[in-house]
A and B are shown apart, each in its own frame.
Chain A
Amino acid sequence: MTILKKLLKNPTSLIGIVILTLYAIMAIGAPYFAPIPENARDPYMIPRDGFSTTPNPPSEEHRFGTTEGQYDIYYGVVWGARTAFRIGVVITLITTIVGVLIGSLSGFYGGWVDELLMRFTEIFQAFPFLLAAITLTSVLQTVYGRGEANGLVFMAKIVAFLTFGQNPAEKIDPVQLQVLTGMLAIIFFGWMGIARVMRGNILAVKESEYATAAQIIGAGNMRILFRHLLPNAVFPILVIASMNIGSYVLTFAALSFLGLGAQRGYADWGQMISFARNWVPSLGEYWYIVVFPGVAIVLFVLAWNLVGDALRDILDPRLRGSGSV
């Protein structure tokens, strides 16, 4: 509670929180701000007005204009807020859990467990991230396209459940599938940072008084880990996580931009911006196809970073004002 109070008092984080609240209102109230057309099968598919490739400027009917393929930009920007929240939060949640788990095991047990897990982490880190993500997305799209049941589908169903509240007993919607593959690729190659920080924190805390004291009174290993070490090492993780939400949204947008994230026509900011690639020499004329979704994504990420920055100041008074990484 006090943390929240402090966040609200701090002007930068206040701006961040205000922007995020507006985005939240936009996301929750999406059907109100941008009503779903009557015959729509999936509210996340942006309604289109014809099939012509040339974008059309903002008009009464299309407030922000239409992109290539006559997708309504306004609708996409509004519903894209939902997509952004879902993607950012779910990826952060999963990578944080995985990272904390691996990092704490590694830091706590040390020895060969540490050695093994850290080499494993290094291998994932040595992989150039975008190359890895693109490869994995292409592979996953192919595997899921087959529509057979296997372990990967199980994984996708978990993510689908967390992201869309999709009933795991049902088949995965093919339109959502592409969003899921992009998310899974980021999750696979996104947990290492947290794992390393967590391990470092655990090592630091382990040498401190809590641990020594706990060992003296004879608490079991797991007990020490969960009761004493975790809470003391977890705060920095919170900071990183809040900053990560923004950067995961960026990464997913980059995948979409390369044509590997969300399906064409899906309400996702990165996907909408990808249309601009074909119109680079005439962007002066068709500015609206990059500016509206572009501003939406920049403000969204900026808000998370403002909050994360302030959160760091509050949670780690030693670093107050220093903006250390």
Chain B
Amino acid sequence: MLTYIIRRLFILPLILIGVTMLVFAMLSMLTPYERASLYVSDIPKRQGAIEDIVKKYGLDDPIHIQYWRWMVGQKDEVTGEIDGGILRGDMGFSTVGHMPVAEVIKHRLPATAELALLSAIPLIGLSVWMGIKSAVHHNKLPDQILRVLAIIGWSVPTFVLGLLLLMFFYAKLDWFPPERLSLWASQIVQSGEFTRYTQMNTIDSLLNLRFDIFLDALRHLVLPVITLSIISWAFLLRVTRSSMLDTLRQDYMTTARAKGLNERRVIKGHAVPNALIPVITVGGMTLIGLFNGVVITETIFNYPGLGKFMAASAAMLDVVSVLGMTLFSSFVLVFGNLIVDVLYGIVDPRIRLD
């Protein structure tokens, strides 16, 4: 177990380096003049401006030199200050976000985390409960309904679902608006009398005892949460169901029943805990996967989180932002997977990690 963790921790930086090199490899397919497009908003009015930009940002240097510069920073010839350098903890300035990449993440992460967490809790609870129901009533009506629902949930694209939800619940009924808060609420949240402890509106409003704002924040979260969780819900439901079915067929279940325990107690006491073991892994991975799903969801609901920023910086080919976001999300992904693996090992010592 310990060797496994050490081994993974050793591999983690290698993967992060690999990922960033991959980004550089992709961007090296572009000519320096194409990459200069990030720094101009339209065709420059002055002749030679693009050539000068290429020179200034060193876009025509060999790609390994540019990579090195991104790693260790660049010394300013005139002032002697070192600028940037990921190894010095500086992720650079995001042209798309108008602030340093680290600030962008700090600024936008709470919104995304709020969305992901609020999606994950009902998502995992509901799908596990449904999965167990489905397995216990194997091949009966509830099982079949849930099974078909899962396949349908699996088939609906996020953006179609999001738009349809907006069509009904916003355009027609005006129940659940997009964005994060209504204007009146956001004015209070940004004013001095409201303390932003976590930057997550639902939690902050409770801490400030502003239940009206809490309700407003929830109202804005309903549709994005549904949209974000639907695919993972279908997936998790199926995993729970099959794991539960497998467990129910195990010998010790028969033994338990033979001992005369009633079916309820057999299921609650023996089957569920065992069936949940694989669900932990998949559930953990799903939670990490939600970070991926936010790109589309946030775009549809105009939700100011990391996903929207990712889409914008990738489309604008903002190298610094894309690298920063890749590094951040890869870290979350790889590190999150490691934690899930370790948890899995603790819950089920029979598992051999390799």
Contacts and interface: CB of A to CB of B under 8 A. Distances in A.
The reply, when asked whether chain A contacts chain B directly with Cβ atoms under 8 A, is: yes
Interface of A: 12, 119-120, 122-132, 134-136, 138-140, 142-143, 146, 152, 246, 250, 253-254, 257-260, 270, 273, 276-277, 280-285, 287, 290-291, 294, 297-298, 301-302, 305-306, 309, 319, 321-325
A128 B310 contact: yes
B152 to A, nearest CB: 6
A51 to B, nearest CB: 24
B185 interface: no
Interface string B138-158: 110000000110111011111
B171 A138 contact: no
A134 B314 contact: yes
Interface stretch (B39-47, B119-127, B190-198, B322-330): B322-330
B317 A258 contact: no
A302 B155 contact: yes
Contact of B330 (A126, A294, A309): A126
A297 B151 contact: no
Contact of B157 (A123, A301, A309, A323): A301
Interface string B275-317: 0000000100000000110011001100000000011001111
Contacts of A301: 155-157
A206 to B, nearest CB: 15
Contacts of B329: 128, 131
Interface residues of B, number: 64
Given A128-B329, A135-B317, A260-B315, A280 B241 contact: no
Given A254-B159, A284-B172, A302-B152, A123 B314 contact: no
B23 to A, nearest CB: 7
A131 B22 CA distance: 13
A325 B239 contact: yes
Contacts of B29: 139-140, 143, 152
Contacts of A323: 147, 150, 238, 241-242
Main secondary structure of the interface of B (DSSP, over half): helix
Given A139-B26, A258-B296, A325-B235, A298 B160 contact: yes
A298 B156 contact: yes
A302 to B, nearest CB: 4
B156 A324 contact: no
Nearest to A276: B163
Given A131-B295, A246-B155, A298-B157, A283 B171 contact: yes
Given A134-B311, A139-B317, A270-B157, 12 more contacts: A122-B15, A123-B15, A125-B333, A126-B334, A131-B314, A131-B325, A253-B157, A290-B160, A298-B152, A305-B151, A325-B239, A325-B242
Nearest to B150: A323
Nearest to A293: B160
Q: 10 tightest A-B contacts by CB? A: A324-B242, A123-B18, A134-B314, A283-B167, A302-B155, A284-B171, A301-B155, A126-B330, A294-B160, A128-B329
Given A126-B330, A130-B296, A138-B317, A302 B151 contact: yes
